[in-house]
Structures are given as structure tokens and as C-alpha cells.
Amino acid sequence: MKTQSKQKNTKKIILKLTLGFIIGISFGFGVGKMVKSNSRLVNSIETTLQQNCNCELIKSENSFAGIQFSKEDGFSNTKLDFTLMNCNFTSSAEKEVNRLNDILTNEVENYDSVDLITFNFKSENQIQSVKIKDGKIL
């Protein structure tokens, strides 16, 4: 009797480990695919910004994928931050961001999947931040 119960326990443990391994591998591949997709999106946005902005330097500061919450911005799934250094534009930062948002919407595939994007315009004497949430300037 004891050997049968040990065999059943061993089989249950092996089954649980196998299921845990399969679930872990599936989760890992899903996360990897999401990270790779997010990286491609950030690179595409950065390239489009470089082509359409008159700035010395454009770089991606932060890229977050997954459910997030902040008091000032609310819930978001994808959050991106870009810094644009020493840009030359004739209008206000909000109008420039609106122009860039239109360009990104038309040229970047899956741009509409970004919930929150922040553009930080930095120059020697000032920093201006403009946020876009779900395609609307905040």
C-alpha cells in the first residue's frame, strides 16, 4: 500500500512540475515577444522623430510596457518618454507636439497602441514637457 501511495505522490509531483514548466515557458515567450515588439515601436518612433524634427538630439528615455498607474496620468499599458534636445520650432511646444503626433499617427505602425507619451523639450535655459494620452494633449 505504501509503495502505491508513494508512486501516486511522485506522479502528482511530476505532473505539477511539468505543468509549471509549460506555463513558465509560455509566459516567458509571451513576455519576450512583448518586449521585442515594444522595442521595435520605440525605435520606429525615434527614427520618425529624427526625420521630422529640427533637433540636435532625440533619444528615448524610458519605455514601459504593462499595466501602470500614477495619480497624475491614471492607468496606462504603454508609456514612452522622449527627450528632444535644442529643437528649433517657430510655434509653441504644444503645437509642435500636435504636429509630431499627427506625423507619428500616419507613419508609425501600432502608434495608436501607445497610451501615454511624453515629449521633453530641453534647451540650455528651459525644459518643457508635453504629454499625449490616447492621442490627446494633456
The whole-number pLDDT of residue 109 equals 85
Residue of 89 and 14 predicted with greater confidence: 14
Q: Are 48 and 60 in contact (CB under 8 A)?
A: no
Classify residue 97 by its DSSP letter.
H
Q: Are 44 and 109 in contact (CB under 8 A)?
A: yes
Taken in order 45, 101, 114, 116, the sign of the CA dihedral is: positive
Q: How far apart are the first and last CA of the chain?
A: 70
The whole-number pLDDT of residue 3 equals 65
Mean pLDDT of 13-26: 88
Q: What is the pLDDT of residues 38-76, one digit of tens each?
A: 778 888 888 888 888 888 888 887 777 767 777 777 777
Q: Is the pLDDT of residue 1 over 60?
A: no
The whole-number pLDDT of residue 60 equals 82
User: Is the pTM of the predicted complex or chain greater than 0.85?
Assistant: no
The whole-number pLDDT of residue 71 equals 72
Q: What is the pLDDT of residues 73-96, one digit of tens each?
A: 777 777 888 888 888 877 888 888
Q: Is the pLDDT of residue 105 over 60?
A: yes
Write down the domain spans for the chain: 2-137
Q: Are 60 and 50 in contact (CB under 8 A)?
A: no
Q: What are phi and psi of 125, to 5 degrees?
A: -115, -5
Q: What is the pLDDT of residues 107-135, one digit of tens each?
A: 888 888 888 888 898 888 888 888 888 87
